[in-house]
């Protein structure tokens, strides 16, 4: 019985290690997709599905951590850069519209000296401003289960049950021998 307990424990350790290694592989795929601009959603879904259904794959940042474990900084930077470029492109024609408007609204003044506040006011009121994109939309935190019905989980359960049975067997055997010695 002790041999089966040890075998189950060893299988459990190797299965837990395999779960963690596969989680690291999937996490690296997410980072690679983020860096290259690939399909981040699919890679992230694969990682989330695996972490939430297998033991020893915890990506949780914990109570003491400052940053979440998965941060898609490249994707976030691409989104904010494209938004900024689109706004700048749309606002570039706004300055010519402001100059035209202010030239009609304030026709006097040498070299447009009095028009500058008008142009600034026009750009401020008519210009597009970017929406604040929360960084938290690009940060992820997954938690693995305490026990899962995979090889690691079943071998852990077997190791625990066999360990308890082994201890009970040793205690029973020890008491039985002790009681037999008292009879002699």
DSSP calls for 139-184 = EE-----SS-SSHHHHHHHHHHHHHHHHHHHHHHHHHHHHHHHHH-
Spatial separation of the C-alpha atoms in residues 30 and 112, rounded to whole Å: 54
Tokens 């592989």 identify what position? 25
pLDDT digits (tens, 9 = 90+) for 103-127: 888 777 656 677 788 888 888 888 7
Please tell me whether residue 66 adopts helix, strand or coil conformation: coil
pLDDT digits (tens, 9 = 90+) for 21-36: 999 999 999 999 999 9
pLDDT digits (tens, 9 = 90+) for 33-83: 999 999 999 999 999 999 999 998 887 666 666 667 888 999 999 999 988
Please tell me whether residue 24 adopts helix, strand or coil conformation: helix
Burial of 6 (0-12, 13-18, 19+ CB in 10 A): middle
pLDDT at residue 167, rounded to an integer = 94
**Closest by alpha carbon to 51, among 141, 137, 139, 154?**
141
CB distance 126 to 88 below 8 Å: no
Statement: the pTM of the whole predicted model exceeds 0.95: no
């Amino acid at each position: 019985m002790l041999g089966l307990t040890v075998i189950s424990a060893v299988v459990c350790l190797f299965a837990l290690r395999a779960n963690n290694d596969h989680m690291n592989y999937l996490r690296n795929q997410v980072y690679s997709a983020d860096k290259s601009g690939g399909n981040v959603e699919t890679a992230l879904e694969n990682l989330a599905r695996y972490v939430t259904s297998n033991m020893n794959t915890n990506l949780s940042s914990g109570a003491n951590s400052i940053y979440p474990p998965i941060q898609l900084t490249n994707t976030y930077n691409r989104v904010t850069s494209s938004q900024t470029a689109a706004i700048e492109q749309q606002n570039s024609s706004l300055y010519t519209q402001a100059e035209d408007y202010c030239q009609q609204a304030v026709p006097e003044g040498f070299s447009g000296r009095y028009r500058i506040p008008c142009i600034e006011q026009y750009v401020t009121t008519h210009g597009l401003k970017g929406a604040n994109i929360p960084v938290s939309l690009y940060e992820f935190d997954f938690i693995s289960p305490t026990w899962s019905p995979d090889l690691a989980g079943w071998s852990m359960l077997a190791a625990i049950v066999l360990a308890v049975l082994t201890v009970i067997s040793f205690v029973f055997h020890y008491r039985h021998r002790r009681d037999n010695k008292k009879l002699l």
